[in-house]
Structure 1
Amino acid sequence: MQVALAFLFMSSQPLSTRQRLIQAALELFSAHGVSTTTTRQIAEKAEVNEVTLFRHFGNKHGLLLAVLEESAAFKDLGESLVRRATPPGNVYQALKDYASDSLHALERVPEFVRSVVGEADQFPAENRRALGRGVTEANRYVAQYLATVIRQGDLNTYLPAEKLASLLNGMILGYAVIEFTSEFHELWEDRDDFLENLVELFLHGAMSPPTEFTTGSLLGGVITTEVADLPAGIVHAILQQAKKLGVLDYALAYVLFGAGLSVSEIVSLQRSQQIYDEQGHFLQITTPGSVRQVPVNQWILGKRYGSYTNNPLIKWLKSRKDTHSAMFLNEIGAPISELEIQVRWLGWTEGLLTPQGEPPAIAQANQTWCVEMLMRGISLENLSILTACDRSQLQPYAKRAREKAALEQAIRLDQKPG
């Protein structure tokens, strides 16, 4: 799969002034980074004056937005991958080629990547949205390819195609950032070592559930044998950081910890699927073959977050001025994706570490909710009804709840006089 980083201008027709400016900006951004490049340099390279640049784009960030929106490199990569699915080819080689070509594309513009990573927080919101749309577009094509080969029976997986695509692209981008910014790391022997391990992980890990995990519990599509719920302090810190980022972030974090839903369940929610009054707040979860209701708890690990009729989720929905049926929309008014929620989670958990010294994982929100419900007295049978899991699948959560109860009792005994 040979895909060059040719964003535009493959035609032999003369370039318009606008195209020349975008091409000049891309070349300079790629060579020197966004912040270092000046509008005068761009104008000189395009052989126009700065006034013409300002007339077309307003400022440098307007020009950057055009570069981001009109590039087609990753769309081309994704389309090339999709074409490999019909007829089905070598999945191992297709995934390795896609990852390799993606890294080569990024490698051709290292200064641009460094600028985007290091300076994205300084970009206007519309530029950040354009970046998000570009990542989402690439993800859509990869998910389409994976869904095709899964449907054809070439892969066995317990994760949905969109989630697998998110993981694959996230790892590729993460590696690119590390390679371009940390020259002397010793995480992998070389790039080929990374690529081989990446594809092996997908084909024999994420895409083939190991037989020894079959007795684990299954919640939100994720098989779990070890439960790692989060301490109350970390949960409250995550909710506070989400609150600072806006009403949407706060509502998403609230549903993760207050209702224990998986990311895939959250993105499928419709506005019509909530019920609330003075007695309670519920969400109706519809999955193939089942419909169930889940409470949205106003109390989370001993701290109250509003009431049944006035909490972060209800405030988010009341802030909406649109008529879209989806419960959660992103900044451009489209239904939020799993990838977007996972990216937001990174913002909420920035700087936080679990007792194991690891950054909190989004799956731990679900685990924390299940353990908390058991600690507050719900029976295993009733938790089974709320989660649509059988009792055997919930055993790891029951074991963790018993461990926490034993620790709490031991602490109380130590606080009593002898």
Structure 2
Amino acid sequence: MHFSMSSQLVSTRQRLIQAALELFSAHGVSATTTRQIAEKAEVNEVTLFRNFGNKHGLLLAVLEESAAFKDLGESLVRRATPPGNVYQALKDYASDSLHALERVPEFVRSVVGEADQFPAENRRALGRGVTEANRYVAQYLATVIQQGHLNTYLPAEKLASLLNGMILGYAVIEFTSEFHELWEDRDDFLENLVELFLHGAMSSSAESAINSLQGGFITTEVADLPASLVHEILQQARKWGVRDYALAYVLFGAGLSATEIISLERSHQIYDTQGHFLQITIPGFVRQVPVNQWILGKRYGSFTNNPLIKWLKSRKDAQTAMFLNETGTPISESEFETRWQVWSNGLLTPQGQTPVITQAQQTWRVEMLMRGISLENLIILTGCDRTQLQPYVRRAKEKAALEQATRLDHKPG
């Protein structure tokens, strides 16, 4: 590859990254010298050192900035608009991901074969790339699960990890071995991967999976929590600090799922004296939800001063994620669920069971209907359709009937 005068439009940094990617792919990381990279990029070696420090610093930039790796996971965002054809969307995502890896097979072989020689930061960069791909897939899966098009007993985050793990495993096997009989060809692998994923990991039975894919809906058993238990969970969360209090507040005040909450960024918050809103940005589906001041009869601050705003104002870091874990990185769904277990430890529902995190969203939906929101407006806020929300309507009517019966059970006077 030769860089002409027109390449001056491309930054020196990008020319070095592209040259390194090509040479790493052709010869491996260990066999490639910084002098070779500098010559290919038509700069002197000192410029390379000034920009990246050393060869492994340049490799780190390749892993983090090369378009071949940035694109992993984004195809699902571009192609899938829920509720579309889930089978085709996942197959397209897997196919596009493999295409991205197949463009640089020698580089993949080199990274796999020489990874133990890389600094820890380079290995962490590989991990961050996979995590970023997982985030896109988990957001998409969370949407189709919430809308009733898939039945699952695993969190969206775990399902995304399984899917990406199988895709990367295929690439490693294909790029590093020959004459195996694991699958007939690439299409055979893709078709069986998606079939297994949808009919196995995504459903407790093949029948329910097929029903979901054909547009059937799964009856939701609504198990909202009583006000006293909700307030106790919020108070327990408050004892664990401003972040935990904010997490619990958003759960019960905005009616979001755990997957939606961990995907929030600081810029997704909008507030003034008239209202407090969060923007939910999920592939193919964007909506806004209010953050309620009042939760089951008790006020938790105002639109401009509440647990979430206090948490964000306490932050001194530059992370874009709205919620972080103890190490200062974006909190994961499993870490969030662990926090819930801490807050609800020792508490029981009226049915004698330990509260689960999904009941927070169910509680919010029932509460909004009890307050008088129309079904049409709840459809807009939740992104669910009428059929999916009918169980909540029935539960709200049931609670309203119980409240009316209780009021009538007073001494006439």
TM-score normalised by structure 1 residue count: 0.51
Within the candidate set 232, 235, 240, 1:237 is matched to 232
Higher-Rg member (1/2): 2
SS of aligned partner of 1:399: helix
SS of aligned partner of 1:286: strand
SS of aligned partner of 2:271: strand
Alpha carbons of structure 1 residues 353 and 212: separation in structure 2 relative to 1, 3 Å: farther
1:262 maps to 257
Q: Deviations over 1:305-324 (max 9, x none)?
A: 01111100000000000121
What letter matches 1:380 in structure 2? L
The 5 A counterparts of 1:14-413 are 158-159=151-152, 161-164=156-159, 205=204, 209-210=208-209, 216=217, 225-413=220-408
Q: Deviations over 1:337-368 (max 9, x none)?
A: 00000000000100011111110010000000
SS of aligned partner of 1:415: coil
Deviation at 1:392, TM superposition (A): 1.6
Question: Is the Cα–Cα contact under 8 Å of residues 281 and 287 in structure 2 kept in the other structure?
Answer: yes
Question: Is the Cα–Cα contact under 8 Å of residues 262 and 366 in structure 1 kept in the other structure?
Answer: yes
Alpha carbons of structure 1 residues 409 and 252: separation in structure 2 relative to 1, 3 Å: same
Question: Is the Cα–Cα contact under 8 Å of residues 252 and 361 in structure 2 kept in the other structure?
Answer: yes
Deviation at 1:161, TM superposition (A): 4.8
- Give the distance between the partners of 1:399 and 1:215, measured in 2 at CA: 20
Most deviating of 207-216 and 395-404: 207-216
Alpha carbons of structure 1 residues 273 and 206: separation in structure 2 relative to 1, 3 Å: farther
SS of aligned partner of 1:266: helix
What letter matches 2:299 in structure 1? R
Deviation at 1:415, TM superposition (A): 2.1
Question: Is the Cα–Cα contact under 8 Å of residues 150 and 209 in structure 2 kept in the other structure?
Answer: no
Structure 1 regions of 5+ residues with no counterpart? 1-84, 86-132, 151-155, 168-199, 217-222
Deviation at 1:207, TM superposition (A): 8.9
SS of aligned partner of 1:384: helix
1:183 maps to none
- Give the distance between the partners of 2:227 and 2:282, measured in 1 at CA: 30
SS of aligned partner of 2:352: coil
Q: Deviations over 1:167-215 (max 9, x none)?
A: 9xxxxxxxxxxxxxxxxxxxxxxxxxxxxxxxx9957518984567775
- Give the distance between the partners of 1:297 and 1:362, measured in 2 at CA: 18
2:181 maps to none
Deviation at 1:378, TM superposition (A): 0.1
Aligned residue pair count: 238
- Give the distance between the partners of 2:402 and 2:383, measured in 1 at CA: 29
Deviation at 1:416, TM superposition (A): 4.5
- Give the distance between the partners of 1:329 and 1:203, measured in 2 at CA: 28
Question: Is the Cα–Cα contact under 8 Å of residues 158 and 208 in structure 1 kept in the other structure?
Answer: no
Q: Percent identity?
A: 70
Deviation at 1:290, TM superposition (A): 2.0
Two-structure CA RMSD over aligned residues (Å): 3.4
Question: Is the Cα–Cα contact under 8 Å of residues 276 and 291 in structure 2 kept in the other structure?
Answer: yes
Deviation at 1:280, TM superposition (A): 0.7
What letter matches 2:291 in structure 1? V
- Give the distance between the partners of 1:389 and 1:346, measured in 2 at CA: 27
- Give the distance between the partners of 1:272 and 1:310, measured in 2 at CA: 17
Question: Is the Cα–Cα contact under 8 Å of residues 344 and 354 in structure 2 kept in the other structure?
Answer: yes
Alpha carbons of structure 1 residues 249 and 389: separation in structure 2 relative to 1, 3 Å: same
Alpha carbons of structure 1 residues 207 and 362: separation in structure 2 relative to 1, 3 Å: farther
SS of aligned partner of 1:291: strand
Structure 2 regions of 5+ residues with no counterpart? 1-93, 95-123, 142-148, 163-198
What letter matches 2:407 in structure 1? R
What letter matches 2:409 in structure 1? D
What letter matches 1:163 in structure 2? K
